[in-house]
């Protein structure tokens, strides 16, 4: 199995969010847990561009999909 192409810090940078670990942890604590029936990209705190990016990466099973799944699990946990 190959290591992931992108890290959670890379994903936060791609989304235009702070990338330090404290900010990432705070984001997850602030915005979780998401309701079980809510897709990550439908969460109300994303900008339209962020939501589109997250949706497309999962739908296309693109390079970012694995780390987007990790964020999804963290926010639904």
Please say whether the beta carbons of 34 and 43 come within 8 A: yes
User: What are the CA-CA distances from residue 70 to residues 3, 6, 10, 52 (Å)?
Assistant: 14, 11, 13, 17
pLDDT of residue 2: 57
Give the domain ranges of the chain.
Answer: 45-77
* pLDDT tens digit sequence for 8-59: 999 999 999 999 999 999 999 999 999 999 999 999 999 999 999 999 999 9
d(C-alpha 26, C-alpha 14), whole Å: 18
């Amino acid at each position: 199995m190959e290591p992931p192409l992108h890290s959670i810090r890379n994903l936060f940078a791609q989304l235009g969010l702070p990338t330090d670990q404290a900010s990432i942890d705070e984001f997850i604590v602030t915005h979780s847990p998401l309701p079980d029936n809510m897709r990550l990209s439908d969460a109300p705190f994303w900008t339209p561009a962020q939501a589109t990016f997250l949706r497309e990466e999962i739908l296309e099973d693109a390079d970012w999909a694995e780390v987007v799944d990790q964020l999804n699990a963290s926010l639904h946990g």
